[in-house]
Structure 1
Amino acid sequence: MFRARGLEAGAGIRQPTARFVAAHPDTRLVEERFMQIQQAVGTTRSRRPETVTFLRDLVEELKAGGFVADALRRSRQSDATVAPPG
């Protein structure tokens, strides 16, 4: 659609946009981010504090142990950035 409509600028998720740019040498990618897709875990307010602590600790363990990075690689999103533990 970008090319068909003769657009001069577009925005999207970095990985597919970078692949498009790689395949079209007459285009370029602006390196600075204009957004981030941040993921979250949520639960109801009625959960006990221990449950919230468990969820937070589990997410941190999954990041620190490489599970999140491995899941991204398996889904072919290996160039996505995983937030550091903590």
Structure 2
Amino acid sequence: MYDWKSELDALVAETMAFTRSLKVEIEPPRPQPKEVAERVEYSEPGYGVSERDQIRKRVESFKAHQERFMREREEYADSLLRRIRPITKS
């Protein structure tokens, strides 16, 4: 009968012996700089600007951001449909 446990033990022992024979220095990975697509500047609460004005500005910024996403999605869908229409008409 095939004795797979003894072969596995032999393989593990051989692998462990091989790894002990290696002398490798491992350098810690360098952190990769993250690219910033857009920088959004938020103003810190100041004495001259009311909280209501700050909230209004943030809401306007959020709405503009959402509208841009909607436009991009619609443009992508239109371009996809333009590419698919000639294929489906055949």
TM-score (norm 2): 0.31
Q: TM-score, normalised by structure 1?
A: 0.32
Structure with the higher helix share, 1 or 2 = 2
